[in-house]
Amino acid sequence: MRRTASVFLAAAVAALGAGTTLPGVISTAHADVAARAAPAGPRATAVPLAQLPDFSQLVARYGAAVVNITVDEKVAAAQAVPQLPFDEDDPFFQFFRRFALPQPRGDVPVHGMGSGFIVSPDGYILTNAHVVANATDVTVKLSDRREFKARVVGADQRTDVALLKIDARDLPAVKLGDPKAVKPGEWVVAIGSPFGLENTVTAGVVSATGRALPDSDYVPFIQTDVAVNPGNSGGPLFNLAGEVIGINSQIFTRSGGYQGISFAIPIDVALDVERQLIAHGRVIRGRLGVTTQEMSQPLADSFGMKSATGALVSSVEKGSPAERAGLESGDVILEVDGHPVEHAGELARRIAETAPGTRANLVVWRHGSTRDLTAVIGEAKNAQVAAASGAGAEGHGRLGVAVRPLTAAEREQNGGRNGLLVEEASGPAARAGIEAGDVILAVNGQPVTSAAELRRMIGKSGKTIALLIEHGDAQLYVPVTVG
């Protein structure tokens, strides 16, 4: 557009002559001269400007279903008041204690706020669990300034979804959409109460879908660049059709405020929580009893797999459905009931969605080939179905560890398992994240009990090996590239 306009302008100036002013509208005669003076070539065509979306109708129609939530809670006085920045042995401690303000006793009232949205005209409201956590009173304010005391029907910490109920009828409710149809790049709108500024509208695009975040195994987040700040939590994320596709829940920030990345819980996840809270008063999930981690290409290479798909089992709980089904550490779960498992988080969600007592058919990769297993799914209690953890980084050169066998006392503390205690780590092992104090349990899925056995296994391995490491209370496979 800019280039085409400059060509016409230059031609017009040349035709009018030096020192001639260019009027706002070129006459027909001047246009003929300009046309004759212009070089021959293809005729330029006008390119229309792209139209930015107008969200005003969406906001006018559905904004009334977005609510402001005010929460009162009580916390212990020690949590509410900053503590002295010195220990009792510091000479400044006595000085500051003498002149400091009196410390309150008992519980201290604390106020918080967030957002939510009405999902049914009879007063059910969805928001985030962290908005109403530990609440003693919850007040919901509508866009028409009416206020209602709300009852917390239930909250699910694992998905960060809570359901509220107010005593009202004929309320404006949102229209619900399909988050599976969401595509990166499409426009989305958030409405909420950032910093208490009610019914604030912000817009952006979907940056990615199916995002896995730490401590959120059950939620495939929608990532956006919509401005979300404190107070937006629990508010709706709309698509251009005016349908709610998610609940704004988290931001990535180093400053405490919005920095261009925000995350929303897909509405289908929230609706499943709502349905179970109404029916059972709690959320019932399936449990397999494994700890898994994400696959990477180095790990796939070490296990003889062509692609880095599936959920790598790093540990199996004793007495769990997984153990009874025959699952082993080092297995890679590829399918659940015919559904491919591309990432570790997908396994957690598939198992969580399976009713306890159901037989689940698993396809696993073990020792270079696939095999079929059947597990009877249990019910998840406080333990997670599967904790997905990141794989370690690659290293180069020799392994670089000094190890020794575990003593009898260490094996007893380790549940009777053998292994090699890492006393020093350097080179590729250190770069892969292995530290002194870690325990090497297996190499490429094979248990290891001595330093000589470790050297032999490494000598027989290819360029990339997978070490099963026990780090603290967790087990995970770490890929290491050796020379």
> For the chain, which residues make up each domain, given as ranges?
2-37, 57-283, 286-379, 401-481
Return the C-alpha torsion angle 77, 79, 85, 89, nearest 10: 70
Q: What residues are labeled active site? A: 130, 160, 233
CB 71, CB 132: distance < 8 Å: yes
The least confident of 11-15, 112-116, 162-166 is 11-15
- Domain 401-481 CATH superfamily: PDZ domain (2.30.42.10)
For 407, residues 6+ apart whose C-beta sits below 8 A from its C-beta are none
| pLDDT class of 311 with cuts at 50, 70, 90 | very high
Q: Is the pLDDT of residue 175 over 60?
A: yes
Instruction: Give yes or no for residue 82 having a pLDDT over 80.
Output: no
Phi, psi (deg, nearest 5) at residue 120: -150, 145
Percent of the chain's residues with pLDDT above 90: 46
Q: What integer is the mean pLDDT of 60-87?
A: 71
The pLDDT of residue 34 is 43
Which class is 57-283 in CATH? mainly beta
Q: Grade residue 385 by pLDDT with cuts at 50, 70 and 90.
A: very low
d(CA 345, CA 218): 7
Give first-to-last CA distance, the chain, whole Å. 57
CATH assignment of 286-379, among 2.60.40.650, 3.20.20.105, 2.30.42.10, 3.40.50.300: 2.30.42.10
Tell me the one-letter amino acid at 336. Answer: V
Task: Write the secondary structure of 294-312 as one string of H (helix), E (strand) and C (coil).
Answer: ECCHHHHHHCCCCCCCCEE
Decide if pLDDT at 392 tops 60: no
Q: Do domains 57-283 and 401-481 have the same CATH topology?
A: no
